[in-house]
Amino acid sequence: MRKTKRTAPLRPAVLALLGGISLLAQDSIMFSPSNLVVSRSVYDNRAGNVTIGQTLPPNCTNSCTNAIANGLYPTVWNNDSADASFGITSRIFLDQISPAGTLINSIQIPNSLHPGLSLSKNQLVTSFSSKSELSLNLSLDHKFLTFMGYVAPVNAIDVSNSNTPGVVDPTNPVGQSFYRAVAQIDRFGLLQVTETNAYSGNNGRAAIFNNFGGVYYTAGNAGNGSGAQPNGIILGAGAQILSPVVEPESAQSPGTPTPVASFNITQLGDTQDKIGKDDNFRGLTVFNNVLYYTKGSGGNGVNTVYFVDTTGTVCTDSNGVGLPVSGAALPAAPMVYNPQLLQTKGLDPNNMCILKGFPTALKSTTSFPFGIWFADANTLYVADEGNGTNTYSNGVYTAAAAQTTAGLQKWIFASGTWTLAYTLQAGLNLGAPYTVPNYPTGNNPVTGLPWSPATDGLRNITGVVNGDGTVTIYAITSTVSGNGDQGADPNQLVKITDTLAAKTLPAGESFTSIYTAGFGEVLRGVSFAPGTM
């Protein structure tokens, strides 16, 4: 496996403008069309980030535990076994690479470790090792990239499960609050950050800028408490809509979360479960003026592909399954719901349903959709990240190796429904351990399993339709390992070329790895650069 050497200089923030920060010298161009951008996070590998025996989570008032490992990577993630909320904030990098995987340049998003950056300036971090974060998406006009993070310093503990300042759940064991935020960046490196009180208790994962409507659509999850969910938790879950803010972070004062859509399993005729957790969304995309979401994890709801119905004619019956209405508009404002039913039925009436043909089973053990990409109106590629089960025997992660739907699924629309045509897996080497330079050898004594990770499936994806009747898809891998947190494993960017018209698995198509994370790094999102059409 090739490790790409990063020699391009990192460019610090040098220019403040309209509440944004230019990350390059004025008039310089950071991104060039047709290149790729990969979001990468780097852990600040310091023993002092955690002290053995310290109380976890920070400011804990219930369900308190003690740290069992210091802050050194990768053993720091063994603290997951003591603290289910465990994570440490880390720096965000955007790497511009060629379609072949050659590094062109790299940009560090402003953070508390940035030299000379005051606390009053815009800054953003992610959570190491929250694997569902830092998806990258182009705006509808392809001029901007967007992603989500936290308004917090580097090396803060358990921020990804903290409350937001405006939505506090008193039963959340993490006794601190931080805003989530949407970051928007253009090809010149101008960064703009918009804070939100959504996703309290959990994380924002993806955002798309509808520049024609002047709004962001976001995906994520909310809630980390043990009691009845406050109204703000229910309102701040899943699918959100918010307007960009040009003021600096220090001048912003976000209000109540504004949901744009919601699904409830009672639409399928199933019994109500924990309100808000049906909307534990990961991926999202916009295609042909329709907003799509995926759910691929959690102990509630249906792991599948959803769409938002703005007409009010498809998703209001008990069926919960349907197809978008041709010519419908994208959402322009928060959804209309009955506030009297929040604690009993959630956001009712619901305005989302499952895309016809996709799974409808509760708590699936075989369906884990993440990123989605439409090649055309009749071809949808879905990344399945795998089941995350790290059973190991005879040199192989056996559950990962045995999967038949993890990887890149190709769905075809015909006769009024979507059907899974085949799953691309060749070259991913599911379940086969690979070597990470400087990683420990042997087994992790806490888990009893090897430190070496293996690919389990795929997360975020993007693609391009080629002129020869093929498509090329770029994907971020997911992993299994004996690490205390499998989201902390160094992973890969892979690509594959598929015959667009194929309805059965073509021979010879195989993934190749073109870019890899190193020790203390993870890759999270992938997109084409701003300006790519």
pLDDT tens, residue by residue, 449-474: 999 999 999 999 999 999 999 999 99
pLDDT tens, residue by residue, 55-113: 999 998 788 999 999 999 999 999 999 999 999 999 999 999 999 999 999 999 999 99
Q: Quote the tokens at residue 270.
A: 């199933």
Instruction: Please name which of 180, 265, 255 lies closest in space to residue 221, comparing C-alpha atoms.
Output: 180
Report the 10 Å Cβ neighbour count for 402.
14
Per cent of the chain over pLDDT 70 is: 94
Q: Where are the beta strands (DSSP E) in 101-142?
A: 103-108, 126-128, 137-138
pLDDT tens, residue by residue, 308-340: 999 999 997 768 999 999 999 999 999 999 999
Read off the pLDDT band of 228 (50, 70, 90).
confident
Instruction: Provide the β-strand partners of residue 443.
Output: 450
| DSSP secondary structure letter of residue 398 | H
Please tell me the distance from the alpha carbon of residue 458 to that of residue 524, in angstroms, as a whole number. Answer: 10
User: If you search the block for the tokens 């025997």, which residue do you land on?
Assistant: 393
Q: Could you write out the DSSP letters of every residue in 257-291? A: --EEE---GGGGTPPP-STTGGG----EEEETTEE
- Answer yes or no: are the C-beta atoms of 216 and 180 closer than 8 Å: no
- Average pLDDT score over the chain: 93
pLDDT tens, residue by residue, 478-529: 999 999 999 999 999 999 999 999 999 999 999 999 999 999 999 999 999 9
| DSSP secondary structure letter of residue 122 | -
What is the mean predicted confidence (pLDDT) over 131-138?
Answer: 97
Per cent of the chain over pLDDT 90 is: 87
> Is the per-residue pLDDT at 275 higher than 90?
no
Please tell me the distance from the alpha carbon of residue 401 to that of residue 389, in angstroms, as a whole number. Answer: 10
> Is the per-residue pLDDT at 431 higher than 80?
yes
pTM: 0.95
What is the mean predicted confidence (pLDDT) over 120-136?
Answer: 92
Distance, C-alpha 277 to centroid of its chain: 16
Please tell me the distance from the alpha carbon of residue 198 to that of residue 157, in angstroms, as a whole number. Answer: 19
Higher pLDDT, 61 or 243: 243
> Is the per-residue pLDDT at 445 higher than 70?
yes
Per-residue pLDDT at 186 = 96
> Is the per-residue pLDDT at 363 higher than 90?
no
Residue 344 is inside which H or E element, if any?
A: helix 342-345
Read off the pLDDT band of 122 (50, 70, 90).
confident
DSSP SS3 for 381: strand
Buried b (16+ CB within 10 A) or exposed e, 443-481: ebebbebbbbbbbbbbbbbbbbeeeeebbebbbbbbbbb
3-state helix, strand, coil in the chain (%, to 5): 10, 35, 55
Residue 321 is inside which H or E element, if any?
A: strand 321-322
Please tell me the distance from the alpha carbon of residue 494 to that of residue 129, in angstroms, as a whole number. Answer: 20
Instruction: Please name which of 159, 167, 183, 98 lies closest in space to residue 495, comparing C-alpha atoms.
Output: 98
Please tell me the distance from the alpha carbon of residue 229 to that of residue 170, in angstroms, as a whole number. Answer: 10
Please tell me the distance from the alpha carbon of residue 385 to that of residue 479, in angstroms, as a whole number. Answer: 8
What is the mean predicted confidence (pLDDT) over 290-318?
Answer: 92
> Is the per-residue pLDDT at 6 higher than 70?
no
Per-residue pLDDT at 22 = 55
Residue 395 amino acid letter: G
| DSSP secondary structure letter of residue 29 | -
Tell me how far CA of residue 425 lies from CA of 365, 373, 433, in angstroms: 18, 17, 16
| DSSP secondary structure letter of residue 27 | T
Tell me how far CA of residue 141 lies from CA of 29, 38, 76, 112, 174, in angstroms: 18, 20, 42, 32, 39
What is the mean predicted confidence (pLDDT) over 11-18?
Answer: 31
Read off the pLDDT band of 2 (50, 70, 90).
very low
What region does 39 belong to: left with phi over 0, alpha with psi -120 to 50, or beta? beta
> Is the per-residue pLDDT at 260 higher than 90?
yes
Neighbouring C-alpha atoms within 13 Å toward the C-beta of 496 = 27
> Is the per-residue pLDDT at 197 higher than 90?
yes
Domain ranges of the chain: 1-261, 365-533
- Answer yes or no: are the C-beta atoms of 520 and 42 closer than 8 Å: yes
> Is the per-residue pLDDT at 268 higher than 60?
yes
Instruction: Please name which of 276, 198, 201, 203 lies closest in space to residue 240, comparing C-alpha atoms.
Output: 198
Per-residue pLDDT at 83 = 95
Please tell me the distance from the alpha carbon of residue 339 to that of residue 344, in angstroms, as a whole number. Answer: 10
Read off the pLDDT band of 52 (50, 70, 90).
very high
- Answer yes or no: are the C-beta atoms of 30 and 107 closer than 8 Å: yes
- Answer yes or no: are the C-beta atoms of 69 and 75 closer than 8 Å: yes
Lowest mean pLDDT among 118-122, 137-141, 377-381, 462-466: 118-122
Per-residue pLDDT at 21 = 53
> Is the per-residue pLDDT at 247 higher than 80?
yes
User: If you search the block for the tokens 């998003």, which residue do you land on?
Assistant: 109
- Answer yes or no: are the C-beta atoms of 276 and 366 closer than 8 Å: no
What is the mean predicted confidence (pLDDT) over 222-242?
Answer: 94
